[in-house]
Amino acid sequence: MKQVRAFLDLIKFEHTIFALPFAYLGMVLAAGGLPTFQQFFWITVAMAAARTLGMSFNRLADRHIDARNPRTAQRPIQTGKISVQTVVIGVIVSLLVLTFAAWKLEPFTLQLLPGAIVCLLGYAYAKRFTWLSHFMLGFTDGLAPMGAWAAVRGSLFTSADLPAWLLLFTVTFWIGGFDLIYACQDTEFDRAERLHSIPAKWGNAVALNVAKVCHTLTVGLLGAIGVVTNLGAVYLIGVVIVAALLIYEHSLVKPDDLSKVDVAFFNVNGYISITIFVATLLALSIG
C-alpha cells in the first residue's frame, strides 16, 4: 500500500481533475446530453488510465533529470519511496487498462489508440529536442475530449464532427498556455541542462506573453464551440467565467515573481475545467 500511495503521489493522480471534465465535455457534446452508463464508465476508465500512463512514463523517462533539479529532487522516485520497477509495472498496467477500455467502447476508438499511445509516450522526450514541447503536451491532452467524442459518435472526419476538432485545439492552447507558466520555474535549470522550452529560449517575460495569447485563443475557441453547437446563453456565461479565471491566473504570476505558480496552475485550472463542463451540461439540459 505504501508503494501504491507513493505511485499515486508520483503521478499526481488527483490532478486528473484538469483533463477529465474536458473528456466529459467531448462525451456530452457528442451525445447531445447524457451518454449511456457504459460509455460514461469506460470513458472515465480510459481517461484515468491514459493520464496514468503518460505521467508515469514521463516520470520514468525524466528520473535522472528530475534528480538534478532542486524543484523535483524530492519526488518519490528520487527519494527512494518508490522503485523504478514499481513505476514500470504502473506503466504496463495502465497501458493494458487503456487498451481494454478502448476495446469496450468502440472499434473506432481501438483503431485510434496506437496514435494516442505514441503521443502519450513521445511527449516525455519532447523537451530534449524542441521548445514546442508545451504544445505537444497540450495536443496530447486534447486527444481526451476528441477520443470521448469518437467513443460516442464512432467518427471524427465528417462535417458534424467539427466540435471535436475545436475541442482538440481548445485544450492544446489551454494546457500549452499553463504549461508555459509552470515551466518558468525551471528556466535556468533547463538552460544549464540544454533542455528546450520557451522560457529557456526567450525568457520568462516572453513565455508569459505567449501564454496570454494561448489563453486568448482558448476563450475564442470555447466561444466557437458554443456557436457551432448552439449551446446558447448559459454556455456563454460559462465562457465568460473561464475568461475571468484566466485573467486572474495571469495576474498571479510575474516574470520575476513565481511564488503563486502553484495556485495558478493547480487551483485555477481545476475551476476552469469544471466551470466549462457544468456550463455545457446545463446548456444541453435546458436546450
For the record, the C-alpha cell of 247 comes out as 485573467
> How high is the pLDDT of residue 120?
94
Per-residue pLDDT at 6 exceeds 90 = no
Residue written as cell 519511496? 81
Name the pTM for this structure.
0.93
What one-letter code names the amino acid at 225? I
Question: Cα angle vertex 255, ends 13, 250, to 5°?
Answer: 60
Q: How far is Cα 184 from Cα 250, in angstroms, rounded to an integer?
A: 13
> How high is the pLDDT of residue 8?
61
Q: What share of the chain is helix, strand, coil (3-state, %, to 5)?
A: 85, 0, 15
User: Average pLDDT, stretch 169-174?
Assistant: 97
Per-residue pLDDT at 183 exceeds 90 = yes
> How high is the pLDDT of residue 43?
95
Taken in order of first residue, the domains within the chain and their CATH numbers are 2-286 (1.10.357.140)
Per-residue pLDDT at 265 exceeds 90 = no
Find which of 11-20, 23-32, 74-83, 266-275 is predicted with most confidence, using mean pLDDT: 23-32
For residue range 143-156, list pLDDT tens digits in order: 999 999 999 999 99
Cβ burial, residue 38 (10 Å; 0-12/13-18/19+) = exposed
Higher pLDDT, 8 or 279: 279
Residue 80 backbone zone (phi > 0: left; psi -120 to 50: alpha; other: beta): left
